[in-house]
Homo-oligomer: A and B are copies of this chain.
Amino acid sequence: MNHQPPVSHPRPVIALLTDFGLGDGDVGVMKGVIATITPDVHIIDITHEVAPQNIPSGAWILAASYRYFPENTVFVCVVDPGVGSSRNAIAVHAGDRFFVGPDNGLFSYVLAQQTIHRTIVLSNPAYHLPQVSSTFHGRDIFAPVGAHLARGVALAELGTAIDPAKLQRIDIEPPSRQGTDIYAYIIHVDRFGNLITNIPLSLVPELSSPSINRGSQSAEQQPHFVFPTLGATVDRYSRFFSDSADDGQPFIYADSSGYVGIAVRNGNAATNLDAGPGTPVTFVASNI
């Protein structure tokens, strides 16, 4: 088993992702707990503004982020509507990194994308705070466990192993093909209202072609998107935002997350198209 202790990195990194917001001091308290246990840690916030209790949104932001962090980074992620219930608290060594949080689907992309070396249910109270509340496991369990991992405690010390096949996962189906059509859906809406689909950029080579449509060709001539439930079609492409027409019309672009996105320059594609997470969208590769 390829289990490298995090101490191989000169300064351990803990990355935090929660839906706690920044107003109440809860995130600060988690950092205080971490710094008490692992003084030389570098704590990095991914975000604390995940939509409250929105596990799919938290899972997606983590998926778009974790590859950019150093090896052995410990991700402490808390979007946890079931806190205090019987849901498990877990730590996972997946790929070159560690993930700590509730077992509720928050790590679904990571589990699907990385080799899972070991999964542990956090049943060893020696690595929790002495008093564990029923409503703030971020402070009482996940922060201290993450800090102990970051200072080099072995994953196996933290509790009992569990079969990763038994972990909770949310639906993150890849798009399906039928002939030249790709059936997909909207996976995320970012703060600008851009719609991110579950279609990897590699499936839409038009986006890296120099001859992409900037409005001069008709939809029949080249691949386009159809929103079947909305009666809308999007057939324009743009390489970057300032390259598109400022006319309120949506266009297809390569989102920096690695997925195909749909945006409106200086506008809001989600509002414009009345689309959101889960909205089905079909990529019609009619001329391939």
Instruction: List chain A positions with a Cβ less than 8 A from chain B.
Output: 9-11, 13, 15, 17, 21-25, 27-29, 31-33, 35-36, 39-40, 42-49, 52, 61-62, 64-65, 68-70, 73, 81-85, 133-136, 139-140, 190-192, 239-243, 253-256
Q: Which residues of B contact A140 (CB under 8 A)?
A: 256
A22 contact from B24, B47, B192, Cβ within 8 A? B47
Taking a contact as CB atoms under 8 Å apart, the answer to whether A256 and B81 are in contact is no
Of B28, B65, B84, B242, the contact of A240 (CB 8 Å cutoff): B84
In this complex, which of A10, A11, A134 has the most chain B Cβ atoms within 10 angstroms of its Cβ? A134
Q: Are A44 and B70 in contact (CB under 8 A)?
A: no
Q: Find chain B residues with CB under 8 A from A31 CB.
A: 44-45
Other A-B pairs beyond A23-B191, A28-B45, 8, CB < 8 Å: A10-B40, A23-B49, A35-B42, A83-B242, A84-B242, A134-B239, A135-B241, A140-B256
Task: Give the residues in chain B near A62, CB-CB below 8 Å.
Answer: 25
Q: Is the CB of B47 within 8 A of A25?
A: yes
Residues from chain B with Cβ under 8 Å of A46 in the complex: 25, 28-29
Contacts of A22 in B (CB 8 A): 22, 45, 47-49
Q: What residues on B are CB-neighbors of A29 within 8 Å?
A: 46, 64-65, 68
Instruction: Please measure, in the bound complex, the distance between the C-alpha atom of A21 and the C-alpha atom of B52, giving whole angstroms.
Output: 17
CB<8 Å pairs between A and B, sample of 13: A10-B40, A22-B45, A22-B49, A35-B42, A39-B42, A68-B139, A83-B242, A84-B243, A133-B256, A134-B253, A135-B240, A135-B241, A139-B256
A36 CB contacts on chain B under 8 angstroms: 68-70
Measured in the bound complex, the distance between the Cα atoms of B17 and A263 in whole Å is 24
Knowing A22-B48, A69-B35, A81-B242, the reply to whether A40 touches B11 (Cβ < 8 A) is yes
The answer to whether A61 and B24 have CB atoms under 8 Å apart is yes
